[in-house]
Structure 1
Amino acid sequence: MRAQIHFQSCWNGVDLYKSDNSHVAYMSAIDDGICPPTHPVQLVHLFIETLYSVSSIVTSDGGKFVFSQGDPTGYGFHGDFQNGWDMDVQTVAVQNCANTDNAGQISACPILQASQTGAYRENCPEMPAQIGEPVHGTLAKLPGCINVVNGPANAASTDMSCPAGSILSPISTTKDSTPRATATAAVGGSFGLDGYKYLGCANDTAGGVRTLNALRTVNPTNMTVEYCQAYCMSKGYRYAGVEFGQECYCDNSINPTAVFGIDACYYQCTGNNTEMCGGSSRMMIYNNTSPSFVPTTSTSGNAAAAVASTAAVAAVPAAPYASNYVGCASDLVTNSARALNGTSLASVNMTVELCATFCTVTNSYAYYGLEYANQCYCGNGLASGGAILTATGSPANSTCSMRCAGNATEVCGGSAKLTVYRNTAYVAPVIQPSVGKYVAKGCVTDPNTSGRTLAGAAYTSKTAMTADSCVKFCLGKGFKYAGVEYGQECYCDSAVRTAGGAVVQQTCPATSALMLCSGNKYQYCGAGNMINLYYSSIL
């Protein structure tokens, strides 16, 4: 479902504002056309468009789709525009980009492209909610005491406020902060620890030989330029490179394939959002020029040595693909949209055999695929736009061409390309239909914010949870209901409770939304806020 709000685009040329909004008017076709003679000045057209995935919302239990202010009709969709543009930037953009045939693409407007970032999800994550009410997923009720009003009469003020005496949700206060400018290193200039000079933003193919290849560390919460520099210096490496906001690479040589002066180093450092730490496959590199620095003599993993080694084996024909090879597939290569979207593994010693063991023995997936020479991905089918590019053939004519980091005679995908294999021994996991006297009764939501659906007894096991062990536990406590959740949690009770929110019994979601039991990779054990429910009437 698509909802749109269009703002008036025609101005009378006289009044900056009139309380009845008569100073502005719509074009003849609302979002297109011409302005009326009374409002001859055409403004830049503003509109808000929101897409809703209604097919992913379960309504068979009597639920409904409704806007957050209680309107199920769509006539109350509302939006406000607040101008936060830098006025100099906005003026140039309007003058040069507003009426060109560029389909509204920021990349086609140089003044806007200068501020374009593909790292908005990482640099601007969703902030924690200030009001302690559930606002994600399917809700039992609207937040803030809002009532659903079907019309045709307007909602009353009492439909949008909490009655006297209501217990209000807790509110978390926020502290004002002082804006700080982002520190940008100048090429050739000093930055970070004493002695370090910035060389620039370079590409990083993320293949078998990275731009800096000798050593790597990751810090998802505290990475900074100084952290990386200190780490590499302590290990005896002259060059320190930051990438993807949280990754640090070290070496005493730079891969000859590195190209400096490119864009897209716009990820903020996870440990200091006023510093930049590279980008997606883009590395910001710093050189330790201190005369007192003594580099390590080790060449293990060194980019120069690795490049020479790779060149030496490049002429050696790759080993034939195994009989369970499916083909070379495309991969969209974003953290949230992988073609094989199960678990994953990265290793400097990656081989086809290592990936196969990880995806089929350690875990239980129908497919495994290798990419970028050192990455392994598991899944039960190609998703997120992945498609087979080369279905058959030998490594010599495949679209995938990178040799495995741990075995140069094997092929491990390519740049955004996966060599995909089928797990011929795959057994699909199931929801256990029954355990002794207990029979599976579908799934039930667990609104655990203020009271569990099953609250009689519980235990957790990160390594040994199964439907069988949970039922046995609940049976020993004398409870009629047993439920497994989050893959590792077990809950018991003699009634399905509604305290803390409406409990919805329903058909279980698609198995892709369920989690494997921690103690049995062939069984499902619920999901987040979703219990696989078992019931026995013979107690």
Structure 2
Amino acid sequence: MKTALALFTALVTLGQTFGASDPGLAAWHLDNLYFLSNERLDPIVAPNGVASHLHRIVGGSNFGANYNYDQYAASGCTTAAVQADDSNYWMPQLFWKENSTYTPIKAGHRFYYFLHRNKPDEPVKAFPPGLRILVGNLNAKSQAETGLPQGVFNFVCLKDHFITPSGDKSGPDFNFATDCPQGLVTTVRFSTCWDGKNLYRTDGSHMAYTDNLQFGFCPVSHPVRLPGIMLEYTWQTYNLRPGVPLKGKLVWANGDTTGYGLHADFVNGWDTDVLNQALNDPGCLTGEMTMTACPTLALHTNNQAAVACKPARGVLETVEDFKPITSLPGCNKEWSSGAKPTCSPAVPNPDVPSGLKGTDGSLVYTGPSMLPDDNDPPNTWTRKGCIGGPSSLNNSFTYSDAALTQAKCQNTCAEWGMPWAGLNAGQYCICGSDVDQSAYHWSDGQCNSPCKGDSSKTCGGNGKLEMFHNPSATTIKHAGVTDPQYIGCRRQGTTGPALTAASISYQSTMTVDFCKQYCTAQKQRYAALSLGRTCTCGNAWANNGGTPMPQDTCNVPCNGNNKQLCGSMTISLSTYDLSLPGGSSPSGGSTGITSSSTSASSAPSGAVTVTKTVTVTAACSPPAHKRRAHRDFRA
């Protein structure tokens, strides 16, 4: 027990720190977990067949070559003291290699369930019936080849653990240049976030890790939080060769001598009702505890049954701890780099007894949905929590507002037909079509920046978005403008003009109609007005310009018609797409919008060479037969 508590404390410190009353601090460990069998069986990877290598299996007695939840959950016993857990857990068997022999090493077994939540009021959910999880790459020969985050695997050599735990040594693999007088510990952390749909996918994509292994938050793509399993085997190397350094002496059952081929599997056999009750029992959520300290699970604890539990469906083969054999079972030669060695002649596999075969369960979940309710009401902005960062919305645009409010941001996103509105750092509004599925949910406490325009409400946090969703906001509606060629108030370029092909300025007579006629004559697609007097033209946006802005930032009347709007005095442009049909406004008419289903055009990017810039300050219509003086500038 001392070993369990010391290791547990060390592992918890790797995660986030929570208040004592936070149920997200809860974690269980089961120390009474016993050996079931050594088998070349893997119902996940090799259903109803022989696995490529030997596994050390613990858990429910109905383990076999197939897997379906109903059969496993009906096990007559389990080697786990909590008899409500008929799941099975396994790692590859570890061997000591010496004098052309391979000796299976005995291990002690334990697992931990970390119960960190996505939200304080959102309990972790029980594993869905039929769930399978596989972690690791049995062919890996380096950390990079595992394809997993750092910390998924841990190797600890218990050197002086019971006297000075700080003397324990950790390493990237099992090749310690010392002996391990209290054992070699290998741990595997399973992914804890589920997509809510698939019970298994061969690439493992039905599951995902949090942003901080088991202690952080789930990505949007995998919103269902399950218990975070950490499976721990302590290999009794000291009982085999005390005092002998481990380096060069160990090999996994598949022949891997590097240690990086470590992997682990889980198939669910829990009594779902019992597990759900425990996950919602306040007496089980008061911090770190053994499973038997949880009142709900204590009712189902029977250590004697766990010790006596044996495989109920037969065995494929017999490999005994500490009894040497001359070769690793199956085609598994020692292997440290390159492609895995083949066997010639081939090594025959044993026949799988009929009692170990059976029907496999579905790979797709069909039970009651555990996904968050995304049926948001129409025409309403529903808060979706603190999500991701500034790049977490797809097809997005961003603007800043020193007087930003939640409503102002939402109105802008609705104007541009964007159903997602995100607020960041109190003054940034980000609108997008949908949420990037790789973004993470965060705790609401990380979206704590007061809105610059309404300090009574929050507008995101430092690099975190306070997210709102309105499923009805899918049509562009620029308030107050009826011209069908109008494509909204847009931003000037960040390093220069947004449109660079041509420009003309009239101090007192600029109108929308003239600007459109001018850009048409210049054979340019876009016309944009700013400062009440300036018209610019181009076929494409330049200098990162043309991004959407709120309609109310285009608030400067045109100098030649005060019923029309000609951008702003700063960076906003009233913009028109001359390739769209229509667009003529009555003389002296308004160019504000009532509605438009025309989506904002996305022209090819890239600057256009300036062809002409003309500045005119006198009247728009010179007397007949009299040539106007002007200056002509060429790029």
Q: If the length of structure 2 is used for normalisation, what is the TM-score?
A: 0.23
Q: If the length of structure 1 is used for normalisation, what is the TM-score?
A: 0.27
Q: Report which of the two structures shows the higher radius of gyration computed on alpha carbons.
A: 2
Greater length-normalized contact order (CA 8 Å, ≥ 6 residues apart):
2
